[in-house]
Amino acid sequence: MANATAGQHPLSLFAIDSILDEEEKAIRNTVRRFCQERVRPHIAGWYESATIPLRDLARELGNMGLLGMHLVGYGCAGATATSYGLACMELEAADSGLRSLVSVQGSLTMFAIWRYGSQEQKAEWLPRLASGAAIGCFGLTEPDFGSDPGGMRTRARRDGDDWVLDGTKMWITNGSVADVAVVWARTDDGIAGFVVPTASPGFSAPEITRKMSLRASVTSELVLDGVRLPGTAVLAEAKGLSAPLSCLNEARFGIVFGALGAAQDCLETTLAYVAGRTIFDKPLAAYQLTQAKLADMTLELGKGMLLALHLGRLKDAGDIRAEQVSLGKLNNAREALSIARECRTLLGANGITLEYPVMRHASNLESVLTYEGTSEVHQLVIGHALTSQPAFR
Amino acid sequence: MNIVVTVKQVPDTWAEKKLDPSDMTTDRATVDNVLNEMDEYGVEEALLLKEAHGGEVTAVTMGPDKAVEAVRKALQMGADKGVHLCDASLHGSDALQTASALAKVIAPLNPDVVIVSSEASDARGGVVGALLAEYLGLPQLTLARKVTADPGGGTVTIERQTDNGYATVLGKLPVVVGVIEKINEPRYPSFKGIMAAKKKPLVTMTAADAGIDPGSAGPSGAYSEVDEAQPRPPKAAGQVVKDEGDGGAKLAAFLADQKLV
Ligand SMILES: Cc1cc2nc3c(=O)[nH]c(=O)nc-3n(C[C@H](O)[C@H](O)[C@H](O)COP(=O)(O)OP(=O)(O)OC[C@H]3O[C@@H](n4cnc5c(N)ncnc54)[C@H](O)[C@@H]3O)c2cc1C
């Protein structure tokens, strides 16, 4: 958006708009404008103070239909996966924290209930989560188990008809503000999911502070201390670890697009900056070294975008595979971070401040590189697909 | 209530606005075009009236092929139907011709209320609303900062913005209401609205369909004509006041000089 330059936009070099339909563009433009008016004027302040008016934002996003937008029924918009990706991209162009809020709400919490829940669970939670009246979180990671969630220690045991949950979850986005948590726990029959109202006795969610990344996002610990739930709280259709992993695959898909939003914002900012910054009597934009950087970054952004859209079309056709989403997550998170770092060099000292979005995006992308499967884990997924040799352990 | 709202596609607010040197009409081809921002307030007000009293909202535009996007945006926001008057012979119409053509399209719709915004951000004439009311033979309530309808009693009451406050004005249906900026907060189109818009009825009409006399259309039949245009001169360099302990006094003297204080 920061198009103070006379040159072309990096993505229009790739004629990306020519492969989007009217509906996709309308959804993208609506989210772009929302971010422009409601988020961008405040985001640096929210980031610095590590506070975000999460409930107000969720309401506004809910009114637009953004929360769980790719799900069907229960108040969800039923948009395409590609449109969902484009929305994530615009959100993350503002800040990865905002996109994280939406990923966790729509792709993790709502998707888990929508895909694995009972009619009662869906009717109780989905309309409220879709409208933003309720906030959700998704508890899989534990202090000692991140890339290997199958080792989790959180336990759910039967007590008569009830379930009783004990354990600790870590790094849980939206945790302290959530009304409902989807919590994964070990049972005698393997890993199961539970819909846990956060008001349940024994549930607490202390916020994790002193973060250097995703500061405009709430990250928490979930402590489950003898949390008693009715028998109906279990996600009946979710059997084993593949269920939470399928949810992560949904959220990852959003990151494939989202990470590029952050990269694009860095590149737009940088293009405007180098046009206006005079060094040794000519614009920084007029140096060959600068142009080589700009060209390389544009190439990676455009290639990432083409990959994202290709994956979007595959997903909309209903035949995307998990390792294909891994291709997108690995490439786009990694390239976005490297674009952000390169842009930072072009902004010089200005690049380290919150006056420009670049360092903020770079810091955020460090989290994006790690969550939803680290880069190494996605390399292993792709390696497994290529060689049939699982090398995870 | 049967509500009609007029919308217009204009060059993006931030785009450099130019005239096409060949015929001195607005250059719409080389810039991004969007729904006139002011019209968003009109659409929002129309939707609020519909939500309060039931009925239907029809968005009407006149303009080239791409202008249909303004109607589509209104449909995405929640309008029920759209009409696009599109005819090469209408290119270059002035305000009077535009209002007369719109009236030809709107009159057969038998509206209870026609909502127009105070101006479009391209030409900024700000007269089409008033002219439209004349051509429709309807009363006009202009500069509305608040609109309350009483369809049962057959009236609309507005708060009309004045220089130092507002006046309460009542009009009998059917009526043309001109709304000002900030009358409301236009909604973002919902994604459901965006997806539903594709299936809403949108009629394209030619000048002949609307019963517009071809002889009266276009630059040849215009009442006004642009002979010449000059870009605004670049801003003159500002005057720098150096503070040598008397900066305040110097600034005050400058303001007094300009008769600003
Ligand atoms: C801001 C933020 C928000 C988050 N939100 C959520 C949330 O909402 N819900 C949730 O459940 N989790 C969430 N997470 C947790 C996230 O999913 C985990 O951090 C991630 O899975 C990595 O786990 P870990 O941090 O324990 O790292 P580890 O698993 O300890 O990994 C450390 C390093 O070891 C590497 N590694 C791991 N396995 C292998 C291997 N087999 N071979 C080689 N290298 C390996 C990793 O790639 C990494 O480089 C969030 C994390 C962050 C930072």
B-chain residues near A27 (CB < 8 A): 191, 194
Distance CA B58, CA B205 (A): 14
Give the gap in angstroms from C-alpha A318 to the nearest C-alpha of chain B. Answer: 20
Confidence (pTM): 0.91
A65–B76 CB contact, under 8 Å: no
Count of beta carbons in the 10 Å neighbourhood of residue B28? 21
Mean pLDDT of B97-101: 93
Mean pLDDT of A178-202: 98
Q: Classify A242-387 by CATH class.
A: mainly alpha
Nearest CA to ligand 1 atom 22: A146
Choose the mutation target among A33, A64, A84 for the interface with B, i.e. most B CBs under 10 Å: A64
- pLDDT for residue B90 is more than 50: yes
Q: Looking at the DSSP assignment, which residues form a beta bridge with residue B81?
A: B58
pLDDT of residue A74: 97
The pLDDT tens digits of the residues spanning A2-38 come to: 444 468 999 999 999 999 999 999 999 999 999 999 9
| B22, burial (CB in 10 Å: exposed 0-12, middle 13-18, buried 19+) | exposed
Nearest CA to ligand 1 atom 9: A172
pLDDT of residue A333: 98
Give the gap in angstroms from C-alpha B195 to the nearest C-alpha of chain A. Answer: 7
Mean pLDDT of A314-318: 97
B190–A79 CB contact, under 8 Å: no
pLDDT of residue B28: 74
Asked, as a colleague might, if the bond just before A206 is cis with ω within 30 of 0, I would say no
Distance A60 CA to ligand 1 centre (A): 31
What value does the mean pLDDT of chain B take? Answer: 90
Low-confidence winner among A55-59, A213-217, B34-38, B49-53 (lowest mean pLDDT): B34-38
Give the gap in angstroms from C-alpha A30 to the nearest C-alpha of chain B. Answer: 7
pLDDT of residue A1: 39
Given pLDDT bands bounded at 50, 70 and 90, which one contains residue B225? confident
Distance CA A292, CA A287 (A): 9
Distance CA A299, CA B86 (A): 41
Spans of all domains in chain B: 2-230
Mean pLDDT of A154-164: 98
Residue B97 at interface with chain A, using a CB cutoff of 8 Å = no
Distance CA B17, CA B57 (A): 31
pLDDT of residue A103: 97
Nearest CA to ligand 1 atom 41: A392
User: B63-68: long-range contacts (C-beta < 8 A, 24 or more apart)?
Assistant: B63/B8, B63/B9, B64/B28, B64/B91, B66/B9, B66/B28, B66/B33, B67/B8, B67/B9, B67/B33, B68/B202, B68/B204
CATH for A10-131?
A: 1.10.540.10
Tokens of residue B153, six digits = 């009693």
pLDDT of residue B14: 67
Mean pLDDT of A199-227: 98
* Chain A residues with at least one Cβ partner in B under 8 Å: 22-23, 26-27, 30, 33-34, 63-66, 69, 77-79, 83
Tokens of residue A132, six digits = 């933003």
Ligand 1 atom with least separation from CA of A211: 1
B191–A34 CB contact, under 8 Å: no
B-chain residues near A34 (CB < 8 A): 188
Distance CA A294, CA A278 (A): 17
- What ipTM, to 2 d.p.? 0.89
Distance B46 CA to ligand 1 centre (A): 51
Distance CA B53, CA A184 (A): 49
Taking the alpha carbons at both ends of chain B, their separation in whole angstroms is: 50
Nearest CA to ligand 1 atom 7: A172
Spans of all domains in chain A: 10-131, 136-233, 242-387
CATH for A136-233?
A: 2.40.110.10
pLDDT of residue B12: 77
Ligand 1 atom with least separation from CA of A373: 21
Distance CA B83, CA B204 (A): 6
CATH for B2-230?
A: 3.40.50.620
Residue B190 at interface with chain A, using a CB cutoff of 8 Å = yes
Whether ligand 1 lies within 6 angstroms of the CB of A367 is answered as yes
- Per-residue DSSP letters for chain B? -EEEEE--EEE-TTSPP-EETTTTEE--SSS-EEE-HHHHHHHHHHHHHHHHH--EEEEEEESSGGGHHHHHHHHHHT-SEEEEE--GGGTT--HHHHHHHHHHHHGGG--SEEEEES--TTT----HHHHHHHHHT--EEEEEEEEEEETTTTEEEEEEEETTEEEEEEEESSEEEEE-TTSS-PPPPPHHHHHHHTTS-EEEE-TTTTT--GGGSTGGG-S-------PPPPPPPPPPPP-SS-HHHHHHHHHHHTT--
Given pLDDT bands bounded at 50, 70 and 90, which one contains residue A202? very high
- pLDDT for residue B231 is more than 90: no
List the one residue out of A236, A211, A244 whose CA is nearest residue A96: A211
